[in-house]
Amino acid sequence: MFQNLKARLGLIFLLAALCVGILFWNNARKGAMVTLGLDLQGGTHLALEIDESKAALTSAQRSEAIDRALKVVRLRVDELGVAEPVVQKAGDSRIIVELAGLQNTNAAKDVISKAAFLEFQVVKRPEEAQSVVTRLDQAVARAFPAEAAKAPASATPAGGVFQQKTPAADSAAVGRPFSSKLAGAGSQGQLIVALKDTAAVARYLRSPAVLAALPRGTEVLWNVPSAEENKDVRSLWLVDSKAMITGEYLANATAGTDQQFNRPVVFFELNRRGGRVFERETGRNLQRQMAIVLDNQVYTAPIIQSQIGRNGQITLGSSTLDEASDLALVLRAGALPAPLKIVEERSVGPTMGADSVNKGFVAGLLGIVGVVVIMLAYYRLAGLFAVGALALYVLYTLGSMAALDAVLTFPGIAGLVLSIGMSVDANVLIFERIREELDAGRQVRAAVSEGFKQALSAIVDSNVTTLLTAAVLFYVGTGPIRGFAVTLGIGIIISMFTAIFVTRTLFTLYLERRSPAAQGLSI
């Protein structure tokens, strides 16, 4: 297929158009074509380990504790509202947290290192939720009169329990700023808020005057974002503020499969005291929903089907076994076997990051200009083909990084510069082999064909060796080392494509347009 010149040109232009589209789409979505790392835009870097000063753990216990802590830390980092946070396990005993753009290190440390708190809370009935919404409307109207005046004349009709929309209800909805932000009710009775309105609703719910309007013993909690079926909305749960039971009584939780219906479930075990309390509370709340709450966010809200003692199970309906494992992990994370300690922290100022970007840009620009001048001066027309391939290399590399959502760090820029050098080196190998074939008396077309053929093995050998090195660095490295490995690996693959495929296509295009009788090549 790619023996045809039009097919080769079509592929090159198609990839270029795809990369341009991805870069502009990324820019519109994130405000930057390629996501910049911590060292380029500033931010906070933290390394966490399990504190074993009071109780030593075995290797297996330490590994499990880190997995449990990783889940909790991810939930907490979401609270910080940082875009593109990095929370990953490093080795068997460390968690790395990188919060690009966040300069308040103390706030990040407070949120990340606080104790996890697990609670089981009863969800309010739908009819109770209706009266609470009416109270919140009135409270928000009093606390935020300016926004109440701008509220729609007719509130957005909420679904589920609020679907009984009558003319009287419409007229009563005038000036109801809280319910106008609701996009409906979920299948389990929770209130649904469109993602664009969550900031306003959260601001209302932080107001002491609005919170005072809630019935005694009631609180409003957000759902965990990752647990939403529709990622464009957030759910609000109205629950009893007094917990049925807390995570201090939880002995264990594991994921499994229901033997009768073959559905994923989470089995949990309470200690003796917890079992007595839970049996009494579940017996009093049969057929009610029970919210499982970690750090004041609802993870799920199953229905209590029967009285539960020390051992119980949570049926997850259509969820997968992986999701059941996640929930079991969250439940176990409610009581960490040992606290986390911060063993390393770094704060990179935005000025330093901007300075790194500027210096990297200047260094890269000078390097590229130097390469272009040398290639044009030494190889003339063939050098122009190499420069064209190099321009496409830069575009393809940035587009690939944007498509893979890779983060560009300062070491990553070094990886890009190194792969640019390897791309130029591949072109030099090809051109020198073509010169040798021309010096040996071959015709231009045959010399070009033989030059690419003879240089191919050397190019593949050197690039594959470096690619393996990048793979090893990615596997064993963390943070900046991984950034370097990712950009180097992407750069090598693309540099081979542009040096071998794109440059060859440009040569073919040139030779197709010149007279077959013409002798010599500007190389």
Residue after which a domain boundary falls, among 301, 318, 347: 347
Please report the pLDDT score of residue 368 as a whole number.
79
CATH code for the domain of 330: 3.30.1360.200
User: Which structure tokens are listed for 432?
Assistant: 């020198």
CATH code for the domain of 463: 1.20.1640.10
Residues β-bridged to residue 47? 96, 344
What single-letter amino acid sits at 142?
R
Quick one: three-class SS letters along 70-133?
Answer: HHHHHHHHHHCCCCCCEEEEECCCEEEEEEECCCCHHHHHHHHHCCCCEEEEEECCHHHHHHHH
**In total, how many domains does the chain have?**
3
Residue after which a domain boundary falls, among 335, 360, 375: 335
Q: Do both 488 and 363 map to the same domain?
A: yes
Residue 164 counted as domain residue? no
49-79: per-residue pLDDT in tens? 887 776 677 787 777 778 878 877 877 777 6
Residue 378 counted as domain residue? yes
Instruction: Point out the residues of the chain with pLDDT beneath 50.
Output: 155-174
Residue 66 counted as domain residue? yes
Residue 165 counted as domain residue? no
Residue after which a domain boundary falls, among 326, 347, 368: 347
Please report the pLDDT score of residue 20 as a whole number.
92
> Are the CB atoms for 5 and 510 separated by under 8 Å?
no
Q: Do both 255 and 282 map to the same domain?
A: yes
Residue 163 counted as domain residue? no
Residue 161 counted as domain residue? no
296 closest CA partner among 190, 223, 235, 242: 223
Q: Do both 268 and 313 map to the same domain?
A: yes
Q: Do both 250 and 398 map to the same domain?
A: no
Please report the pLDDT score of residue 280 as a whole number.
92
Residues β-bridged to residue 118? 294
Domain range for 49 is: 43-115+342-347
